[in-house]
A and B are shown apart, each in its own frame.
Chain A
Amino acid sequence: GAVVSQHPSRVICKSGTSVKIECRSLDFQATTMFWYRQFPKQSLMLMATSNEGSKATYEQGVEKDKFLINHASLTLSTLTVTSAHPEDSSFYICSARDRTGGITNEKLFFGSGTQLSVL
């Protein structure tokens, strides 16, 4: 079964509204989670690295005030797309890092993704 749960799987919203996407690690603690965005026929692009208990690290070109990340617990990170516009329509995927077996045996698990459509 899934070890990372991402919700919602699909959301359609009006321009100007905010959308929150949740990413949960189900049976391990994830101090670090990653948020990606994927446009049609393009690669997954890392948006930001979410660190539990501290500020997220954003990739160049990603607006931190527009894409708010909160990682308040060891099993939950949220991405909020604020004041969404049609150009924000994309597939958003999270991944969580599992270091239960140590750094050298770390695994990355992906959520099932969220398809955001902004009208």
Chain B
Amino acid sequence: RKEVEQDPGPFNVPEGATVAFNCTYSNSASQSFFWYRQDCRKEPKLLMSVYSSGNEDGRFTAQLNRASQYISLLIRDSKLSDSATYLCVVKQGGSGSRLTFGEGTQLTVNP
């Protein structure tokens, strides 16, 4: 089983749509969780951290369910510029800073 699994995608949505991505992780000892976005052949960029209480940043809302080992990202009122691959990322505990990346879900927002 992969350490981090995401919706396979791709997602094609019209502008203004709401889209949700799901992610599960296998290591119950994982301590930190993130969503990154990656444009084609570019480095991943941190979109937001994910907290147990859930957190929102503008049109983006992230949720974490530790009991189910499940992470989600909701994008409201999607824009053309949201088109990218969204990576679910899990960081193990301790001082190693090791990040484990999901394979990503590709989103295309169409006019």
A12-46 residues at the B interface, CB under 8 angstroms: 32, 34, 36, 41-46
B interface list, Cβ under 8 A from A: 4, 41-45, 87, 95-104
Contact across chains for B97 and A113 when beta carbons are under 8 A apart: no
Does the CB pair A108–B99 fall under 8 Å?
Answer: yes
A45 cross-chain contacts in B, Cβ below 8 A:
101
- Extra pairs beyond A46-B98, A49-B96, A113-B41 (4, CB < 8 Å): A43-B104, A95-B99, A110-B44, A112-B43
Which among B41, B96, B103 is the interface contact of A43 at CB below 8 angstroms? Answer: B103
In contact, B43 and A115 (Cβ under 8 angstroms) = no
4 A-B pairs with least C-beta separation: A110-B43, A43-B103, A44-B101, A43-B101
B14 → A minimal CB distance (Å): 24
Which of A32, A93, A103 contacts B43 (CB under 8 A)?
A: A93
CB-CB under 8 A from A110, the residues of chain B are 43-45
A-side contacts of B87, CB under 8 Å: 43-44
Grouping DSSP codes into helix (H, G, I), strand (E, B) and loop, the A interface class, with mixed when no group exceeds half, is strand
Kindly provide the distance from the CB of B1 to the nearest chain A CB, expressed in whole angstroms: 14
Q: Is the CB of B97 within 8 A of A106?
A: yes
- Report which of B42, B98, B99, B101 forms a contact with A113, defined as CB distance below 8 A: B42
Give the residue name and chain of the A residue nearest to B46 (CB).
Answer: A108
- Inter-chain contacts of A111 with B (CB < 8 A): 43
The residue that B42 contacts in the complex, of A42, A46, A112, with Cβ under 8 A, is A112
| CB neighbours of A97 from chain B (8 A) | 97
Which residues of A lie under 8 Å from residue B44 when comparing CB positions?
Answer: 44, 93, 110
Question: Nearest chain A CB to B104's CB is how many angstroms away?
Answer: 6
B97 & A32 in contact (Cβ 8 Å cutoff):
yes
Closest to A110 in B: B43
Give chain B residues whose Cβ lies under 8 Å from the Cβ of A42: 103
C-beta contact mask, A65-98 vs B, less than 8 Å → 1, else 0?
Answer: 0000000000000000000000000010101010
Bound-complex Cα distance A104 to B98 (A): 14
Which residues does chain A contribute within 8 Å of B99, judged by CB atoms? 34, 46, 95, 108
